[in-house]
Structure 1
Amino acid sequence: MTTNCSFTEVDRLMKSLELAIYVPIFVCGLVLNILALVVFCFLLRKWTESTIYMTNLALLDLLLLLLLPFKMHATIHHWEAHHRFLCSFLESLYFVGMYGSIYTIACIAMDRWVAIRHPFRAKQLRSRRAALGICILVWVVVLGGTSPIYSFRTAGNGSFHCFHGFSEKGWRPDVISCLLGFGFVGPALVLVVCSAQSIRTLRQSGKESHKNRACVRIIYSSLCAFLVPFTPSHLGILLQFLTRKPLVEKKRRARINESLQELRVLLADTDLQLKMENAEVLEMTVKRVECIIQSRAQEVDTMNREASERFAAGYIQCMHEVHTFVSNCPGIDVTIAAELLNHLLECMPLNDEDKFQVMIQDIMTDCSTNSNSTWPSSEGIYAALVSPGGKSISSGSSSALSPAPSTTSSDDLCSDLEETDSEQNHISVDAEKQDVLNMPTVAYSESMWRPW
């Protein structure tokens, strides 16, 4: 939405509202203020401080009302250029009547507060001369404060709307701040504070008389008479100032411009862009290296597991061959055979006990079906290995390990052992070479017994 479009809509709406509000205000206000002046000037025999203030207020209100027809005419019609000074004079009188009424109402509230809150000092502070001097001071202040209005109209030959379309001088932030601060907010605070203190004093006096209740109603009436007409008008001035001076929009655009400026600097900075690219490359490299390390670790684990399984299978097979040989070889000492078997059992890998137990059972069962040996069964061997009491076969079971009595001599036994060893060595050399070629390199402890 453009600025011109928004001003057109606001001006059209304000013209309609002004015509709808000013006509009843002019008629009713003119009649009531004339009656008030007649009462104060001719019917009241004694002039008091309150009478002086009320007469001054009625005069200022009447001045303000007499200018409303000019303002309603200027709302609909354009004025010629030679009426520019007359327009400025009428505008000055309009603001004199408005802010003179505001200051007079504030003075009435202060005078009432002094009379109620400090009744003994009021006799010294309040007087008809002081009230008349304050009223004259109000006229001087508002006439001097509205004098800059004559400079708010720019010289020109074209027609214009009086009471509307001030130049940019009239909408400067300092002018609007003084107008709202000293012309409305300050007197409003004085009125509210003095009225609240007066009402509190009347209610705390403990006398709920008809006179006190009437005073409270008068104070509330003065508050309403001030806040109801003047608050919307000054709020409209503030909104129109914000419309003409879009501070919020300027701040929003400033933030957008700052963001775009920072983005431009980032895009134009080659060093920063190079650093960002290097950081991205480094991050991708780290992720790639982590993936490679994880995959290699998984491969190594798989190879180690497969090598362990092959090692265990070969170990069990060697135990089977030793078991078969010792069982079929007569004349072997029982103690030596038991120590040999205990050594093999102690060196057995136990990474996967259940799997190795199954392998031992299969091999030892196969062995027991092919021979009539008196060696322990596979369950006994495994139980002796994993039992917490010890890792060797007890001497009490030596009778179970005793082989059949031998009838051969020790020389024959030695010769048979040598022949068997030579045959086994010859056969195991080729198998060892083939296994070494096929098995991946796995690091084992030097004290571990290796079947090859």
Structure 2
Amino acid sequence: PESNYTAPRMQFVNGTDCPVSAEFQYIMFPVMYSLVFVLGLAGNVIALWHFISTKTATSPANVFMVNLAVIDLIFVLTLPFKIIYHALSNNWIFGELMCKITGSLFFANMYGSTLFLTGICLDRYVAVVHPIKSLQLRKPWYRVVISCMIWMILGVAIMYLTFKGPLTSKFENNNTACLENFSSKSWKGRISGVSIMAAVIGFFIPFVIIIICYPLIARKLMVPIPGSTSSTLVKRKALRTILVVLATFIVCFVPYHVNQLIHTLRRINIFSSCALIQFTYSTRRVTMALTSLNSCLDPLVYYFAAENFKWKPSCCKNVPPKNKMSSI
């Protein structure tokens, strides 16, 4: 009898003789990105509405969070293009310019998020471990200047990706690839250098800072101040904030960057195993999907870190509570 088995669509990694396949990506990406689009759009719109309606967008504690919400919102608005790309079995139909825009914004969101999350972490560290210094830095312009510097770094990176060379290419099946399927020459040239530099500046350094800040805040928290309830509450809030930031890093960014580093070393022939590139090719899809989750998890940071942040519409805040029987 004839078998109904359909062999997976194999392709060769550009510049190698290694066949790879990841059929699951054509379902995983559209489902994951659709979920992130809905949740990320709702969460970040609500957050920005809160900051604007309460006039706290320029509050020292909220400057980094406002920037984080903006960059997350920009990112989720690009996801419909990626959903269509992967639903069409990785066929980019929107042209080179849109590939550069969406691709650049993808990485701008990833590394912008890590840098703004690091700013939030450092802000809480100074408030808890160096409270006197924190009072001297209460003016928001310090954070505005740092935020502008981060946006400038992201802008330079986007311009480099946009003008340095094409980001689309052709697969063997004649589909148009966007931000993948680069040649070995490209990997040994600009791609590997950009990949490693972005990982060091945008991930490894921020991750080390957060890992250092967390135990210092925890140790400070373990030292009670007699009669200072408000100080203890501030410390606990800071600790919760950094826990959420650390969890976001571990879930969204650590798997991608570990896998990407191994994949980069293989593409520049530091390693030569075909099995390795087959593994990193598949896991890269999963870890890229995980990076997009930060747009959904960042609103949790706002909830724990922002001043008086409540997930409640302003129209409902003045509704009197129902009478309840109190038990004695």
The alignment's TM-score, normalised by the length of structure 1, stands at 0.49
The 2-side partners of 1:154 and 1:220 are apart by 37
The 2-side partners of 1:94 and 1:30 are apart by 15
Structure 1 residues 210-234: Cα deviation after superposition (integer angstroms, max 9, x where no partner): 4433332222112112321112222
Q: Of residues 55, 68, 71 in structure 2, which corresponds to 1:60?
A: 71
Contact 1:102–1:184 at 8 Å: present in 2 too? yes
The structure whose residues are more often helix, as a share, is 1
Q: Aligned residue for 2:264?
A: 241
Q: Aligned residue for 2:283?
A: none
The 1-side partners of 2:149 and 2:57 are apart by 23
In the TM superposition, residue 135 of structure 1 has moved relative to its aligned partner by 0.9
Contact 1:100–1:138 at 8 Å: present in 2 too? yes
Q: Aligned residue for 1:71?
A: 82
Q: Of residues 18, 24, 45 in structure 2, which corresponds to 1:34?
A: 45
Structure 1 residues 94-136: Cα deviation after superposition (integer angstroms, max 9, x where no partner): 2112211111111111122112111112222342111111111
The answer to whether structure 1 residue 107 and structure 2 residue 119 are counterparts is yes
In the TM superposition, residue 31 of structure 1 has moved relative to its aligned partner by 0.8
The 1-side partners of 2:108 and 2:11 are apart by 35
Q: Aligned residue for 1:17?
A: 28
In the TM superposition, residue 58 of structure 1 has moved relative to its aligned partner by 0.5
Q: Aligned residue for 1:255?
A: none
Q: Aligned residue for 1:224?
A: 247
Q: Which amino acid aligns with 1:12?
A: E
Relative to structure 1, the CA distance from residue 170 to residue 121 in structure 2 (aligned partners, 3 Å threshold; closer, same or farther) is farther
Relative to structure 1, the CA distance from residue 7 to residue 31 in structure 2 (aligned partners, 3 Å threshold; closer, same or farther) is farther
Partner SS for 1:50 = coil
Partner SS for 2:97 = helix
Contact 2:85–2:92 at 8 Å: present in 1 too? yes
Relative to structure 1, the CA distance from residue 2 to residue 30 in structure 2 (aligned partners, 3 Å threshold; closer, same or farther) is closer
Q: Aligned residue for 1:299?
A: none
In structure 2, the gaps of 5 or more residues are: 1-9, 274-328
Partner SS for 2:178 = coil
Q: Aligned residue for 2:158?
A: 146
Relative to structure 1, the CA distance from residue 19 to residue 217 in structure 2 (aligned partners, 3 Å threshold; closer, same or farther) is same
Matches within 5 A, 1:30-429: 30-44=41-55, 47-77=58-88, 78-80=91-93, 83-150=95-162, 151-153=164-166, 160-168=176-184, 171-172=187-188, 173-206=192-225, 209-249=232-272
The 2-side partners of 1:42 and 1:224 are apart by 29
Aligned residues: 249
Higher relative contact order, structure no. (Cα contacts within 8 Å, ≥ 6 residues apart): 2
Q: Aligned residue for 1:283?
A: none
Contact 1:33–1:61 at 8 Å: present in 2 too? yes
Structure 1 residues 176-228: Cα deviation after superposition (integer angstroms, max 9, x where no partner): 22122112111111122122212221222446744433332222112112321
Tell which structure's C-alpha radius of gyration is larger.
Answer: 1
Partner SS for 1:161 = strand
- Superposed CA RMSD in Å reads 3.0
Calculate percent identity across the aligned residue pairs. 27
The 2-side partners of 1:43 and 1:243 are apart by 50
Contact 2:27–2:87 at 8 Å: present in 1 too? no
Relative to structure 1, the CA distance from residue 129 to residue 170 in structure 2 (aligned partners, 3 Å threshold; closer, same or farther) is farther
Relative to structure 1, the CA distance from residue 180 to residue 170 in structure 2 (aligned partners, 3 Å threshold; closer, same or farther) is farther
